Structure 1
Amino acid sequence: MRVLVVGAGAIGGYFGGRMLQAGRDVTFLVRPRRASELASAGLVIKSPNGDVTLNNPPTVQADRLSDKFDVVLLSCKAFDLEDAIKSFAPAVGDKTAIIPLLNGMLHLDALDKTFGARHVLGGLCAIAATLNEKREVVQLQPMQSLGFGERAGGLSDRVRAIAETFSSAINGANASEHVMQDMWEKWVFLASLAASTSLMRTSVGNILAAPGGKDFLLGILDECSAIAADAGHAPGGPFFQRTRGLLTTEGSPMTASMFRDIKAGLPVEADHVIGDLIVRADAAKIPVPKLRTAYTHLKAYEKQRSA
């Protein structure tokens, strides 16, 4: 099975690198600068689950992409989606499956419009990883997961085939029979974490230690959960309990990648992660005052950054 990984940053570099390490047929679609970095230093992964340096990983640039691939693993940020779609479009053939690992749901509409819904699976991942100053992939915590599946539910033959390729190479990679529920539950958690830590500019533990902090965290979780429930995907069961636990762990150093991006002066996915939830809340007449405050903060940051 031929896999095209779009990008070799923290997420694409990690999951694609683990597959390449296990001998899978993986090619990275990268820009010229990243291609040069990988050619000279290799793809370097620093991880609690084991370090590895993959010399001369297979790469291709958009202007030279012509082969069709069985799977496209898409790990870009939402604000790069339009350019990413243009770059990997030549790789999509009649039987290609696209697995997007973006947050939220808006990207599904864009991918469906360009390629048709039959090509687009549901997908999500959970990993704390970044690129360091040496452009090495650094996994910050041992926890990791990668899920994928048919958006209509169930297990198809193509999902089983992808699972055979992914699961034996990536710890925590699994096919899901209910991937849309999984995606919604992740969105609820991520939006709650991103909105709170970005707005307060600090960790979950510090928010909890502040007067009213726990009520704020649980309140924003309730707002996001109400939106998901209106969409038919109410969070519940083990995932929701773990999520609530993560947001109420005293002393937790946890922050969202969105908060870390703000600290670094980088673009953020304000509209994709938070704004779209507010649009859905308005349509359902669900009050979300905490989400609105966080969104205003993020849009003000974007305005300041653009200036």
Structure 2
Amino acid sequence: MKFAIVGTGGVGGYFGGKLAAAGYDVTFIARGAHLKAIQDKGLTVKSINGDFVVSPAKATDSISEVGVVDVVFVCLKAWQVAAVAAELKPLVGADTVVIPLQNGVMATDELRKALGTDHAVRGLCRIFSKKEDDGVINHFGIEPTIIFGEDSNLLTPRILKIKEALEKAGVKVIIPKDIEAEAWKKFLFICSSGLLAVMRSPYGVVREIPQTRQMLYDLFVEIYQVAIAKGVHLNPEIVDKTMAMVDTFDYNTTSSLTRDVMEGKPSEIDYQNGTVVRMGEMLGVAAPVNKFIYDCIIPMELKARGFIEVE
């Protein structure tokens, strides 16, 4: 099978690296100094499960030169997907499957607008990882897992074929009974990143202070209520289960959105807490904690994107 990894950061670099290390034909889409490092020295993956290097590694900054592949993993930031979706057409043949691994719940629909309804399936991943340096990916938490499936939740031949390839590469795969519910479970959790960014603190700090712990709990409740209003089938226990999961994290754990905001970079805030606020307004569900987080981060987001200047 041929794979294209669009976005070779913490997510794409790790999962694409595992596929390439297993002998699959993988092309990494990257840019700048990161691309050059991969081309010159290969892709280095540091992992709590064992380090490895993919060398040589196929990498380019030109999507059009890759050609048609069997599977495209879209591993860009959520806010980049809509802009790049149409550019993926040269990768997509009649049987190509496109799997987004973004945070949020909008990427699949954005891809379908550009590529048609037959190619993109719903997907998400679980991993704590980041680009540590040019050509270097660091996986530092959680068992890396890819979760994906058809809207129908049927085990179609294409889903099973991709599952087999990933498992042969040593990647844990879950094909859930309800992919939409799984996407919202991840979405519910990841929106906590905005609270960490506002507090400029890791999970350990936020969970141990009574006031911020309550805000975290209320944030989860709001997202659960929005999901239910939207018709997503979530178990009420998801809020308490998510809090319990947070309690297992290393004290200094953060997330990519948290780090982006704290480092003054553009973030996924519009696709996380911003999405909760907008959906809540449409569905008549109040989301005051999420709105507070979103409103607090917007000035920093506008500055990071160059829309405002602060001396």
- Could you state the TM-score of these two structures normalised by the residue count of structure 2? 0.91
Distance 1:294 1:50 in 2: 37
The amino acid of 2:140's aligned partner reads L
- Comparing 51-60 and 118-127, the one that deviates more: 51-60
CA RMSD across the alignment: 2.1
- Comparing 201-210 and 264-273, the one that deviates more: 201-210
Summarize deviations over 1:231-252 as a string: whole Å, max 9, x none: 2224327865531203456983
User: Residue in 1 aligned with 2:287?
Assistant: 288
The amino acid of 2:194's aligned partner reads A
The amino acid of 1:217's aligned partner reads L
1:258 aligns with 2:257: yes
Residue 42 of structure 1 contacts residue 55 of structure 1 at CA under 8 Å; is this kept in 2? yes
User: Residue in 2 aligned with 1:205?
Assistant: 204
Q: Secondary structure at the match of 2:148?
A: strand
The amino acid of 1:209's aligned partner reads E
User: Residue in 1 aligned with 2:61?
Assistant: 61
Residues 265-276 of structure 1 correspond to what in structure 2 (within 5 A)? 265-276=264-275
Name the % identity: 26
The alpha-carbon distance between structure 1 residues 223 and 22, as it changes in their structure 2 partners (threshold 3 A), is same
Unaligned runs of 5+ in 1: none
Residue 62 of structure 1 contacts residue 87 of structure 1 at CA under 8 Å; is this kept in 2? no
Residue 81 of structure 2 contacts residue 111 of structure 2 at CA under 8 Å; is this kept in 1? no
User: Residue in 2 aligned with 1:185?
Assistant: 185
Q: Secondary structure at the match of 1:117?
A: coil
The amino acid of 2:183's aligned partner reads M
User: Residue in 2 aligned with 1:148?
Assistant: 148
- Could you state the TM-score of these two structures normalised by the residue count of structure 1? 0.92
User: Residue in 1 aligned with 2:6?
Assistant: 6
Q: Secondary structure at the match of 2:267?
A: coil
Distance 1:32 1:244 in 2: 39
The amino acid of 1:4's aligned partner reads A
User: Residue in 2 aligned with 1:246?
Assistant: 245
Unaligned runs of 5+ in 2: none
Tell me how far 1:35 sits from its aligned partner.
2.9
Summarize deviations over 1:156-194 as a string: whole Å, max 9, x none: 111011111112213312333321111011001111x11
Tell me how far 1:281 sits from its aligned partner.
0.4
Distance 1:3 1:213 in 2: 42
Residues 1-150 of structure 1 correspond to what in structure 2 (within 5 A)? 1-31=1-31, 33-62=33-62, 64-65=64-65, 67-150=67-150
The amino acid of 1:188's aligned partner reads L
Residue 48 of structure 1 contacts residue 139 of structure 1 at CA under 8 Å; is this kept in 2? yes
Q: Secondary structure at the match of 2:226?
A: helix
Residue 99 of structure 2 contacts residue 121 of structure 2 at CA under 8 Å; is this kept in 1? yes
The alpha-carbon distance between structure 1 residues 214 and 249, as it changes in their structure 2 partners (threshold 3 A), is farther
The alpha-carbon distance between structure 1 residues 235 and 125, as it changes in their structure 2 partners (threshold 3 A), is same
Q: Secondary structure at the match of 2:272?
A: helix
The alpha-carbon distance between structure 1 residues 221 and 27, as it changes in their structure 2 partners (threshold 3 A), is same
Tell me how far 1:146 sits from its aligned partner.
0.8
Q: May I ask how many residue pairs the two structures share in their alignment?
A: 306
Residue 46 of structure 2 contacts residue 52 of structure 2 at CA under 8 Å; is this kept in 1? yes
Tell me how far 1:133 sits from its aligned partner.
3.3
